[in-house]
Structure 1
Amino acid sequence: MSIPDRIRALAADNNTDIKGLALRVGAKPRTVQNYVLGERAIGAEFLSMLTSGMGVSASWVLTGMEPMYLNRTQSSVVATSDYVPIAKFTVSASAGGGAIVPNEDQVGQYAFSSRWIKRRGLKPDSLAIITVTGDSMEPKLRDNDLILVDRDQRDPSDGRVYVVRIGDELLVKHIQRTGARVIDLISTNPIYPARTIDLAAESDSVQIIGRVVASMQEW
């Protein structure tokens, strides 16, 4: 069951329709309809409206994890602060020769622990989830792994893994500084050679999108 399906199920379970659900939580009916049709990804504000207005669990809305409703001893503030929805985009970062960047449309969301995000010093609005393609970062990152990218961290540090845009290519690589504005893009897989980038000379075509702060496999 998808997030739109769970919103429909929530309305039906409370003997109302989408318009009635919108009125109960204080949202615009058209906005809720867009969520149900999958034309718009659910955001933190609407998630808070659902938990406050309907007593539904944020975890259930985002992932389907039971229970559907909060315990009477729980508050909606606790529930919405437990998990933060992070957007997943259709764009892929190549762990190989380079992937052509498609339209970066949002295709879903994943729930992350807000405690984990706060402990890492991250900001939810700066995070994005994208897919890895290729084998150049194996065994650290494998084909079809999901990576969490912090778009606030764009100043490269030695040894860290970053997503880098070069023209129409999007790469995920280790970065090693070799000069004031010169970096090497290094693969974990030794069969792939390093690629040297002069950030000053290629500033128009090279952009560091952000640092990879976590990875996960989707089975």
Structure 2
Amino acid sequence: MSTLQERLKEASRDAGISQAELARRVRVTRSAIAHWFSGATRELTGENLIAASAALGVTPTWLAKGTGPKTGAAAGLTGGGVAVWDSPEDLPDDDSRVWIDRWDYFCSAGDGGIQWEIRQKDALPFNSEFFRAIGSKPANCRLVMVRGDSMEPFLFNRDMAMVDMSKTAIRDGVVYAIMYGDEPLVKQVFKKPDGSLVLHSYNAKYPDKDIPLLQMEYVQIIGEVIYRSGSGFAAN
């Protein structure tokens, strides 16, 4: 069976995509991509797997494990595969398509009280392979719009983030949608040895928020951010 390194090189060669361009599309650093292509990274999972397979026009299962079809309905749209549509009825029938509700939860990626509005918008389509690859169930997921700049360049103002509301167990360094008191936020979360939390912003102009144990009752983990889409770019 081929290695991840071999599949990445094959797919990037077939797609005519350089490592620098792949880093830009996946929104990871060039050094991270270099690790992928050198063999230092032995597996891709979650959001990076989905983004890389879409950028390269291959299926997530093939890229991750070397099994199943290399390309097909689950692969990213490339070239003439882009579909332009005004309403869901304009799209051809596809049993593998899953519709995810889009909400205007205004998760603040900035500082200050942003209203948590719940105005449901039109759903957006995803392939069922996407959810199998990242281990999430569509029924648990919501698309939300981020407001603010504190998570740049990971998330930009008005970017879309998919939140899996079943994934609320805190894992160090993972980005979550949370409620802190009456303040909705999207932050990278770190847990201290004593059980208290640090809410970290990617943008250096925003200081970390320390949540002591006495204030943990005011913290509610809404869900893990498992996918993002918008104007974000990879750091050089």
Q: TM-score if structure 1 supplies the norm length?
A: 0.62
Query: In the alignment, which residue of structure 1 is the partner of 2:227?
Result: 214
In 1, Cα distance between equivalents of 2:90 and 2:156: 27
Query: In the alignment, which residue of structure 2 is the partner of 1:14?
Result: none
For residues 1-219 of structure 1, the aligned pairs below 5 Å read 62=88, 64-65=90-91, 68=92, 70=93, 79-80=94-95, 82-198=96-212, 200-217=213-230
In 1, Cα distance between equivalents of 2:105 and 2:160: 11
Kindly state the Cα deviation for residue 137 of structure 1 after the two structures are TM-superposed. Answer: 0.6
In 2, Cα distance between equivalents of 1:174 and 1:102: 19
String of CA shifts for 1:103-155, please: whole Å, max 9, x gaps. 32311211111011111110111100111111111111100000000111111
Unmatched 5+ stretches in structure 1: 1-58, 71-78
String of CA shifts for 1:189-209, please: whole Å, max 9, x gaps. 1111000113x5234421010
Instruction: Give, as a single letter, the amino acid of the residue that structure 2 aligns with 1:210.
Output: G
In 1, Cα distance between equivalents of 2:186 and 2:120: 19
In 1, Cα distance between equivalents of 2:89 and 2:226: 22
In 2, Cα distance between equivalents of 1:186 and 1:179: 16
Q: TM-score if structure 2 supplies the norm length?
A: 0.57
- Tell me if the contact between 1:98 and 1:171 (Cα under 8 Å) persists in the aligned partners: no
Kindly state the Cα deviation for residue 180 of structure 1 after the two structures are TM-superposed. Answer: 4.0
String of CA shifts for 1:72-103, please: whole Å, max 9, x gaps. xxxxxxx22x1111111111111110343333
Based on CA coordinates, which of the two structures has the bigger radius of gyration? 1
Provide the alpha-carbon RMSD of the alignment: 2.1
Higher RCO (Cα < 8 Å, 6 or more apart): 2
Kindly state the Cα deviation for residue 63 of structure 1 after the two structures are TM-superposed. Answer: 7.2
In 2, Cα distance between equivalents of 1:191 and 1:165: 21
Kindly state the Cα deviation for residue 64 of structure 1 after the two structures are TM-superposed. Answer: 3.3
Which SS does the other structure have where 2:227 is aligned? Answer: strand
Which SS does the other structure have where 2:215 is aligned? Answer: coil
- Tell me if the contact between 2:177 and 2:224 (Cα under 8 Å) persists in the aligned partners: yes
Instruction: Give, as a single letter, the amino acid of the residue that structure 2 aligns with 1:123.
Output: K
String of CA shifts for 1:36-89, please: whole Å, max 9, x gaps. xxxxxxxxxxxxxxxxxxxxxxx9763734xx4x5xxxxxxxx22x11111111
Decide whether aligned partners of structure 1 residues 175 and 196 sit closer, same or farther in structure 2, where only a CA change above 3 A counts: same
Percentage identity across aligned positions?
32
In 2, Cα distance between equivalents of 1:145 and 1:63: 25
Runs of 4+ that moved beyond 2 A: 59-65, 98-103, 200-205
